[in-house]
Structure 1
Amino acid sequence: MRIAFVYSTKDQGLVNITKYMIALFEKSGHTVKAIEVENLSSPISFRPFDLVMVGATITSFFGGKISQEVVKFLQGANGMEGKKSVAYVKSALFGTDKALRRLMGHMESRGAFVVDFEAIKGQKEAEELVKRHL
Structure 2
Amino acid sequence: MSSAIDFEQLVDAVGDAIIISDAAGDITLWNPAAARMFGYTQEEALGKTLDLIIPERLRGRHWDGYHKTMATGQTRYGHDLLRVPAVDKAGRALSIAFTVALLHSPQGEITGIVAVIRDETARFQEERALKKRITELEMQAQQS
- Fold equivalence (TM over 0.5): no
What TM-score do the two structures reach when normalised by structure 2? 0.27
Which fold has the larger relative contact order, with Cα–Cα distance below 8 Å and residues 6 or more apart in sequence?
1
Q: Which structure has greater helix proportion?
A: 2
Q: Which has the larger radius of gyration?
A: 2
What TM-score do the two structures reach when normalised by structure 1? 0.29
